[in-house]
Amino acid sequence: MKTIADRLVNISRLNFVRNFATLSGGQAIATLIPILTAPILGRLYLPADYGVLGTYMAFGAVLATIGNLQYFKGVIVDKQEHDAIATLALAMRITLGMSVLALAVVALVRLLEPASWSNSELWPWFWLLPLTILMASQTAALQAFANRQNRYGFMSRLQIVSVVVTTGLSIGLGLLKWGAAGLMTAYFAGQIIAFFYVIAGNREAFGLARRAQWADMRAAAVRHRDFAQWTTPTAVVEQVAMAFPIYVLGLRGGMLDVVGHFNRARSLLALPVQMFATAIGQVFFRRGAEEIARLDSATHLFYRLAIGLTAIAVPMFGILYLIAPTLFVFVLGPNWHETGEVARILAPVIGLQFVVQPLTKILWLHGYQRLDFIMSVSFAAFTIGAVLLATQIISSPMNVIVAYAMAQGVMYVAFLAVAFWIAHRHRHLRAEPAAL
């Protein structure tokens, strides 16, 4: 006869699977749309057009990580709803300040580099970086609140709406021969639609956050200060390290076509990460917090997740490694052969990312933000150093990408080892239920 505890475990297991299925279903649709439209887009745009988009997105991604100082993660961790609203309000107000600061920085760069600004199709787009920070960071905070409430259907629809708008407009403007401006316009349109959609879906929380008391927000700032002090710089250095070849090749070398190949290869290879790993990570973070509150450990959930992710990643990215050059030319067209070569170089690294990205949430769950920061800074420095060394010693841009991939691979292996060490260290003496 099943005990009440056994039934609760079964319900918890079913909820995890249901939540993951809902969120990953939206991820799957949002991923399939770019895959299905890639042959069209590959023939409407040139690699240099994607180089402009990729370089802008590289800056936008770094700045978005500091948009609310990662306080949005505290929205999920807070035990009381009142505290979560205060943390949400804090994250949203910090975002406003960061957007104004970014506008001032862009204006300063415009004054210091007038020649670069006027002679490049990339630089004028930087005026929109404050808007990107505002929308991306506010969207992340409100998504975190939806995650807290297990509203995975809403989160799933949000992804689909954004991708449909971005992809549809990209095709339309590509047919009109807009070039890089078409990709950029479609990118901003997708951000804007997602921003207003997430506000409309969280009207009540948005209203409560606007009326939050300053005392409650100050308490939230203290309660989750590790996210600002450690997680934020960690996220920044990780983003800088990931995008460093783009900075070197795009800004310093002026090789926007090479950046286009790199960015397109990485973005298409990363689609499985977005489709599965990101969804799993979001659910694992929420479910892991519940497991720790109940059992002081999420080790069984972690181990089962590691096995499942590895079983998916090895065959998927192994096949991509073997067929990437032929596949990318077939899908995108003859202008994209070099993209396939870049994809072959990056496939093992993206495969590791697929496994490691969800599992490293265990560092946050057990309060290892400082260790996360130290490791991230160390490996970011290692990656940046490897890219710069390759730039100085080897003239070939492809070998710069090889150096980047090798450094990133070392980083992911190290993070995976640390995640397993933490899971083993925090295993509970009591028998934990099977989590999946």
Q: How far is CA 245 from CA 115, 133, 241, 267, 403, in A?
A: 23, 22, 8, 14, 10
Q: Are residues 185 and 280 in the same domain?
A: no
| d(C-alpha 355, C-alpha 378), whole Å | 21
Q: Are 57 and 19 part of one and the same domain?
A: no
**What is the structure's pLDDT at 292?**
75
Q: Mark whether 317 and 357 lie in a shared domain.
A: yes
- For residue 265, give both structure tokens: 């290869």
Radius of gyration of the chain (CA): 22
User: How does residue 250 score in pLDDT terms, banded at 50, 70 and 90?
Assistant: confident
Give Cα separations from 303 to 242, 290, 375, 433 (angstroms): 27, 16, 22, 12
* Pairwise CA distance, residues 138 & 234, whole Å: 20
Residues 105 and 253 placed together within one structural domain of the fold = no
Closest by alpha carbon to 20, among 114, 150, 127?
150
pLDDT digits (tens, 9 = 90+) for 144-168: 998 888 787 888 888 888 899 999 9
Q: Is the pLDDT of residue 281 over 80?
A: no
Residue 338: name the closest of 272, 423, 397, 410 by CA: 397
Residue ending a domain, choose from 223, 241, 273: 223
* Termini Cα distance of the chain: 21
Amino acid, single-letter form, for residue 203: R
The domain boundary residue, chosen from 196, 223, 250: 223
Could you tell me how many helices (H) and strands (E) the chain has, helices first?
20, 0
53, containing H or E segment: helix 47-65
Task: Verify that 242 and 179 share a domain, yes or no.
Answer: no
Q: Is residue 32 part of a domain?
A: no
Task: Tell me the CA distances in angstroms from 163 to 38, 48, 157, one per residue in order.
Answer: 13, 22, 10
Average pLDDT over residues 296-311: 84
Question: How many distinct structural domains can be found in the chain?
Answer: 2
Q: How far apart are CA 211 and CA 376, in angstroms?
A: 36
- 173 shares a domain with 290: no
| Mean pLDDT, residues 242-266 | 81
Question: How much of the chain, in percent, has pLDDT values that exceed 70?
Answer: 88
| 392, part of any domain | yes
Interatomic CA distance for residues 101 and 109, integer angstroms: 13
Has residue 316 been placed in a domain?
yes
Note whether 13 and 65 are same-domain residues: no
User: Cα(144)–Cα(402) distance, rounded to whole angstroms?
Assistant: 35
Q: Are residues 242 and 94 in the same domain?
A: no
At residue 432, the pLDDT reads: 46
What pLDDT does 30 receive?
78
Structure tokens at 20: 């993951």
Q: Is the pLDDT of residue 13 over 80?
A: no
Assess whether 287 and 387 both reside in one domain.
Answer: yes
353-362: average pLDDT: 88
Tokens representing 392?
């100085």
8-state DSSP, 176: T
User: Which residues constitute the domain of residue 237?
Assistant: 1-24+228-436
Residue in this structure with the two tokens 């290879």, named with its chain if needed: 269
When pLDDT is cut at 50, 70 and 90, the band that residue 12 belongs to is very low
pLDDT at position 433 is 47
Question: CA of 130: how far to CAs of 93, 106, 159, 353, in Å?
Answer: 14, 9, 22, 29
- Give the Cα separation of 1 and 415 in Å (integer): 42
Structural domain contains residue 368: yes
Q: Of the given ranges (3-17, 86-100, 259-273, 356-370), which has the lowest mean pLDDT?
A: 3-17
Mean pLDDT, all residues of the chain: 84
C-beta separation of 290 from 432 below 8 A: no
User: Angle at CA 353, nearest 5°, toward 73 and 233?
Assistant: 40
Whether 301 and 354 share a structural domain: yes
Please write the tens of the pLDDT for every residue from 386-405. 988 888 887 678 888 999 99
